Every structure is written in structure tokens, then in C-alpha cells.
Amino acid sequence: MASHLFDDPAFVADFLNSDLSAGQIQAKWGIAKSAVNKHRARVRNGEPIPGGGHAPTARVAAAIAADDTVRNSDGSIVSAVRMADTAWGHDDWREFIRAKGQDPDTVTFQYGVTSNPTGGYWNKLLNVRPKADDAVASIDWEAARKFIEGFTYVPAKRDHLVDVSVLQPTDEQWGKTDFDGGTPETEERVLNSYSRFVDYIREYRPRKVLLARTGDGIENTCSTNSQRDTNDLDLPAMLVQHHRIDLVSLRMIAPEVPEVIDARVPSNHGRWRTGLKAEAGNPHADFGIAVGRMLETTQRELDVFPTVTFAFPDRLMESMSVNLGTVKVGLVHGHQVNGPDRLADWWTRQDHGRMPTWDADVLLAGHFHSYRKQQSGDKRWLFVGPASDPGSSWYSNLKGVRSTSGMLAVSFAGKRWCHEDIL
């Protein structure tokens, strides 16, 4: 075979076209059939053509050898690869599709191009599909109607989509004033969160609801020097407000689900103090715990909220776990550590010491006023809920950031969490 033939683009195109047999090339170009077979084998193996010329590399040859048009079972084009001296555009591929016996006006397609280091371009046709209107027009609607006539789909009844939905009211700090106002603004924000949670449980239909109250329900008056001057409620008024809003939350949520567990743990702002940071009593000398006990007494004496049960930590404990059947949820306020990054280590030590949260699948904490979620241990999750308070200007001035207010809502199907939201 004369090497000068490889300088002729028309010959190169025929030589590399796997649709043409060696005999057809022999007849067209007047060369020996054995020469065609021999040099095609050299190209496939990446060997040089004797006498020089512009033979493609083995990689290019492999791509060209695989360039047969891919078709569906009905003969319509799916994709193709072609090598050419120029990069093909939209109109080139339309002509290609037409030459292959298909109307380009009835399809959508994509195309691309890759340059060949030895010369020329790989032109690629991709995703040839019928246009949507044509696909719809091709449906035999009468046949479809006959097929479905008399058939009625009855979905399986699912009263509950998830096992448990959790809402975490935390750090309302009634009586506090800051960026986002005072008690009236906090009340609007908190009641809006409860209202959105009612919509949430109507959508996901849990078997149970856990109200995970992780503390700091009131601002108190003995945590900082400034509280007596900046608060808009005194301590007795804070307790009345705390009790009233928690009562309203039960009235809103209890009618929506078969079972509600109201669980609460003590906290630093909730502690009974006789002076600035002067704690009194044991760990359960806590105003948030007191409000929970009052609500529990109201339920028992007046026979209200029959679907609600109340849960508190064991004697002298500041944390607890609530067994919800399919998942066990641990609660702690979070003031036990100096930063949220240390909560996982605290939980690990609780596990080792078989403390109240040691075998919980999930741990919920408050205190840090900023939402976070992280995996801890083998398939355990730690959530830190956002706060509902009006903000902390001292922290923002120190750190340069402000956290989003709200309540964490998260559901569980078995032990797997889902449908996480900030309400």
C-alpha cells in the first residue's frame, strides 16, 4: 500500500470506516485487500505505517473503530462518534441524523468535540431523544384508556409516616431583652414555632411527640450583674410567663397525636440562686423543673391532657434519657461543658460511667444558642438546638456573629433521623 494514500483525507476516512470491508476499499482504491487488513491491524496495535504518513494513534483508532452508530431496538439513533478534519456543529449533526434515515426535527440531541493530537477531531453525538410533544403524540390514548378502565389503585393505609417527632424548645429566657426585643417579641416567636410544629406533625403524622425542653426557660436575675436592669419581667412574672406558654403549647400539640412526652432537664439560668451566681439547693432546685411539676400536678388534679406524660431526670441527675420505643433520646442542657465541641467527649464519658444518657441513640443539648449536628460514636447523633431568646448582644460584640432563633424539629423512623427543620 502506497504511504502517500494516507495524505488523502478521503482515503483515511474510508480506511478507518469499520462499515467498509477490506474488499470494498480494495475495489475503490485499487490496492491489495491483504494490505488493507495488514495496515488496519497495525493501526489497532498503535504501530507506525511503513513509509510514514498520518496514521492515527492506537487510542484514536480504538475510538474510530467503535464509532458505529448506536441505535434503539426500533432503529432510532441513540449516539454516535465520528472523526473528521473539522469540529462538527449543530447543523452537521442534523445532516448526519438525516443521512442515517431519521428526521432531525423530531429529536433533541447533544454533541461534543475533542481534538485529536495527531490531527482532526472526534465528534460525539449524545442523548438523541424524541421531542416531548412527539412522544406524547405517539401514545395510543385509546389503548391506554382501555387498559386502565375499571382499575382502581388503593394505597396501603399508613396512619403514621414516622415513629417519633421531636421538638426542642430551649433557651426562651423569658424576661430577657436584647436585639430582637423583649417578652412580647419572644412570645410571638415562640408561639409561631409551636404553630409551625402543629403543621409539621400534621404532615409527618408521628406516633409520638417528644417535647425536649432542654432548659433556660427564664432569664433569672442572678446570672449576670446587668439582668436586674435589662430584664422586662421580675422573677415571679417570668415563672408565670413560662408556665402559661408551656401550657398553651400542650393545648396546641396534644390533640394532634396519640402520645406526647414532655421532658425537661435543669439548666444554669433556671437554677435557684440566693445571689449573683450563688447556687442554692440540689441540681433539681430549678425553676424549669418546677414549672414542669406544676403542669404535671394540674394534669393529675384536673384530669386534663390525658395523652401527655411528664418526664424528669432521676434524683440529683442533670441529664436523662427518654425511651420512645424505637429510639432512645438523651437530654442535657449543656452548661456542664465549656463549649459545644466538648459535648461529644462529655457524652463519651457518660457512656463509660453508665450515666443517664449512656445508651441513648441521640443526644439533644441547648445552652449554646446556635444549631449544630454531628455524628458521635457508632451511628449516634448529637444535636445542639437553636435558642428562642431575643439574642445576646454581649456575645455578638465579642465574636462578631448572631445566631438564628427558633426551635429544632426532627423526626425518627426507627433510629434514623429525618425531616429536620428549624421552626
C-alpha–C-alpha distance, residues 139 and 356, integer Å: 63
C-alpha–C-alpha distance, residues 173 and 5, integer Å: 89
Is the pLDDT at 244 greater than 90? The verdict is yes
Cell numbers representing residue 74 in the block:
426500533
Q: Considering only residues 280 and 245, tell me which one the structure prediction assigns the higher pLDDT.
A: 245
Q: What is the mean pLDDT of residues 131-156?
A: 60
Structural domains of the chain, ranges and CATH numbers in brackets: 1-66 (no CATH), 67-135 (no CATH), 162-422 (3.60.21.10)
Q: What is the pLDDT of residue 39?
A: 73
C-alpha–C-alpha distance, residues 312 and 265, integer Å: 6
Convert the pLDDT of each residue in 186-217 to its tens digit.
Answer: 999 999 999 999 999 999 999 999 999 999 99
C-alpha–C-alpha distance, residues 323 and 154, integer Å: 35
- Residue 46 has phi, psi (to 5 degrees) of 75, 20
Cell 495527531 identifies what position? 118
Burial string for 291-309 (b: 16+ CB within 10 Å, else e) reads bbeebbeebeeeeebebbe
Q: Considering only residues 30 and 1, tell me which one the structure prediction assigns the higher pLDDT.
A: 30
Q: What is the mean pLDDT of residues 235-255?
A: 92
Is the pLDDT at 294 greater than 70? The verdict is yes
Cell numbers representing residue 270 in the block:
433556671
Note whether 216 and 173 are within 8 A (CB).
yes
Q: What is the mean pLDDT of residues 412-419?
A: 93
Long-range CB pairs of 299-308 (<8 Å, 24+ gap) are 305/250, 305/254, 305/260, 307/254, 307/257, 307/258, 307/259, 307/260, 308/250, 308/254, 308/260, 308/261, 308/262
Is the pLDDT at 314 greater than 60? The verdict is yes
Q: Considering only residues 101 and 415, tell me which one the structure prediction assigns the higher pLDDT.
A: 415
- For 258, the 3-state DSSP assignment is coil
Please provide the size of the chain in residues: 423
pLDDT band (50, 70, 90) for residue 98 = confident
Convert the pLDDT of each residue in 36-89 to its tens digit.
Answer: 777 776 665 555 555 444 444 444 444 444 456 777 877 888 888 877 778 888
pLDDT band (50, 70, 90) for residue 407 = very high
Instruction: Kindly list the distances between the CA atom of residue 182 and the CA atoms of 75, 118, 179, 219, 401, in Å, as whole numbers in the listed order.
Output: 72, 75, 9, 11, 20
Cell numbers representing residue 396 in the block:
455578638
Convert the pLDDT of each residue in 324-372 to its tens digit.
Answer: 999 999 999 999 999 889 999 999 999 888 999 999 999 999 999 889 9
- Compute the mean pLDDT over every residue in the chain, rounded to the nearest whole number: 83
Q: What is the pLDDT of residue 399?
A: 61
C-alpha–C-alpha distance, residues 65 and 85, integer Å: 17
- Percent of the chain at pLDDT > 90 equals 44
- Percent of the chain at pLDDT > 70 equals 80
What predicted TM-score, i.e. pTM, was given to this entire model?
Answer: 0.63
C-alpha–C-alpha distance, residues 22 and 36, integer Å: 6
Is the pLDDT at 237 greater than 70? The verdict is yes
C-alpha–C-alpha distance, residues 261 and 216, integer Å: 19
pLDDT band (50, 70, 90) for residue 148 = low
C-alpha–C-alpha distance, residues 368 and 337, integer Å: 10
Cell numbers representing residue 59 in the block:
487510542
- For 161, the 3-state DSSP assignment is coil
Q: What is the pLDDT of residue 140?
A: 64
End-to-end CA distance of the chain: 79
C-alpha–C-alpha distance, residues 208 and 411, integer Å: 10
Q: What is the pLDDT of residue 125?
A: 85
Note whether 124 and 112 are within 8 A (CB).
yes
Note whether 371 and 422 are within 8 A (CB).
yes
Is the pLDDT at 8 greater than 70? The verdict is no
C-alpha–C-alpha distance, residues 146 and 371, integer Å: 55
Least confident of 24-33, 232-241, 289-298, 311-320: 24-33
3-state helix vs strand vs coil in the chain, percent to 5: 35, 25, 40
C-alpha–C-alpha distance, residues 363 and 367, integer Å: 13
